[in-house]
């Protein structure tokens, strides 16, 4: 079991034939993802060859041939795909997500960075009406180590294990996976740092709570909005598994956007301190650094400290 993404997931890649799409499709294939097709109306009918390094490393290369479809619907009809990963440029992202939702894919992972908020608002509502889950935009996607990888999270950081992870930040996802690589993860979900995202901390917490393979959840937040405060309340009321938190942005000045479009302390809200306090009030220990957060996870899981 895993959350949202398993080895059974059949993945289409919208924008597969672009530079980013090619590079990451190869990486997804290498991670074991069942990539069943790409989508590009101008290249429909072609097949793209990927030279995929085999695991364990050094044991040669396999050739994988992935068909390109003219639309998501064609891809879904031909392959039974249920996941789409979107790599198309910002100007076309809204249409791409809505197309995937209309074609009935249950999960759309939007890697594209720099999508206008009005477009995110529109495709979020569109997908919700059709029962499609959107992860992102501006996110690294999600990985169920050893099973499937939909997005750009490096699959070799950590293997399978009992920790579920949900994070607004891609690199903090990688950092925590690295810190806890000896224990491993059920699923890691990068939900993205934009003001409007399709899947929230709460959605992931609820899914991890129901996932028998997840023993503990790491929740990574950052300044901006009140998603962490809401997640804290949800944990208090609905989550019985241990949760460990981390929040970035204590030193962020008010009114300045810190890299992520959604990472801004506006007025009196969105501060790291308020988020940390809310999490702690809900009984969630919050690490002062990623390393300390990893230590809290080890304590909670009863694992000894990782040998140096």
Partner 1 sequence: MDLYEHQARELLAEHGIVVPPADVTDSPREARAIARRLGGPAVVKAQVRTGGRGKAGGVRFAADPAEAELMTRRILGTDIKGHPVRTVLLAQPVDIDAEFYVAYVLDRTRGQFLAVLSTEGGTDIEEVAATRPEAVTRFPVDPTEGVTPATAAGIVRTAGLPARAADVLVRLWQVLIREDALLVEVNPLALTAQGRLTALDAKITLDDNARFRQARWGERDAPHDDPLEASAAARGLTYVKLDGEVGVIGNGAGLVMSTLDVIAGCGARPANFLDIGGGASARVMSDGLSVVLSDPDVKAVLVNVFGGITACDAVAEGIVTALDTVRPTKPIVVRLDGNNAARGHTVLDDRAHPLVHRATTMDDAARRAAHLANTT
Residue from 8, 55, 114, 210 binding partner 1 (CB under 8 A): 114
Whether the upstream peptide bond of residue 137 has omega within 30° of 0, thus cis, is yes
Report the DSSP pairing between strands 10-14 and 34-39: parallel
Q: What is residue 14's DSSP assignment?
A: E
Contacting residue, 12, 100, 150, 157, with partner 1 by CB under 8 A: 157
The reply to whether 203 sits near partner 1 by the rule CB under 8 A is: no
What character string, x for contact with partner 1 (CB under 8 A) and - otherwise, covers 20-59?
----------------------------------------
Number of residues that bind partner 1 (CB under 8 A): 65
Shortest reach from residue 260's CB to partner 1, in Å: 4
Q: Residue 13 in 3-state DSSP? A: strand
At 254, phi and psi to the nearest 5?
A: -65, 140
Verify whether residue 126 is a known catalytic residue: no
- Contact status: 250 vs partner 1 (CB under 8 A): yes
Q: Please enumerate in sequence order all residues whose Cβ is within 8 A of that of 135, keeping only pairs 6 or more positions apart, or say none.
A: 4, 107, 108, 109, 110, 141, 142, 150, 151, 189, 190, 191, 192, 197, 198, 199
- CA dist 157 and 159 (Å) reads 7
242 binds partner 1 (CB under 8 A): no
Residues that bind partner 1 (CB under 8 A): 90-91, 113-118, 120-122, 124-126, 140, 152-154, 157, 167-172, 174-175, 178, 193, 195-198, 200, 220, 222-227, 230, 246, 248-253, 255-263, 267-268, 272, 288-291
**Residues classed as catalytic:** 260
């Amino acid at each position: 079991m895993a959350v949202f993404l398993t080895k059974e997931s059949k993945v289409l890649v919208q924008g597969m034939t672009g530079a980013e799409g090619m590079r990451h499709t190869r990486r997804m294939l290498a991670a074991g993802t069942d990539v069943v097709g790409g989508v590009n109306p101008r290249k429909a009918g072609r097949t793209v060859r990927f030279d995929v390094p085999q695991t364990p490393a050094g044991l040669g290369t396999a050739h994988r041939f992935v068909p390109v479809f003219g639309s998501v619907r064609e891809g879904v009809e031909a392959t039974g795909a249920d996941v789409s990963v979107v790599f198309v440029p910002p100007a076309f992202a809204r249409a791409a997500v809505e197309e995937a939702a209309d074609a009935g894919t249950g999960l759309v992972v939007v890697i594209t960075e720099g999508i206008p908020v009005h477009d995110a608002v529109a495709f979020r509502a569109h997908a919700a009406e059709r029962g499609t889950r959107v992860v992102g935009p501006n996110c690294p996607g999600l990985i169920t180590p050893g099973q499937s990888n939909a997005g750009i999270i490096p699959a070799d950081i950590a293997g399978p294990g009992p920790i579920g992870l949900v994070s607004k930040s891609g690199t903090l996802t990688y950092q925590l996976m690295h810190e806890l690589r000896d224990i491993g993860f059920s699923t890691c979900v990068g939900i993205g740092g934009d003001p409007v995202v399709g899947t929230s901390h709460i959605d992931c917490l609820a899914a991890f709570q129901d996932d028998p393979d997840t023993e503990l959840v790491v929740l990574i937040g950052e300044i901006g909005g009140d998603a962490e405060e809401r997640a804290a309340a949800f944990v208090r009321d609905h989550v019985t598994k241990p949760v460990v938190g981390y929040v970035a942005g204590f030193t962020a000045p008010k009114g300045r956007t810190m890299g992520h479009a959604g990472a801004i302390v506006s007025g009196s809200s969105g501060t790291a301190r308020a988020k940390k306090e809310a999490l702690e009030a809900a009984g969630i220990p919050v690490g002062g650094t990623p390393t300390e957060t990893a230590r809290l996870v080890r304590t909670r899981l009863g694992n000894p400290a990782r040998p140096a």
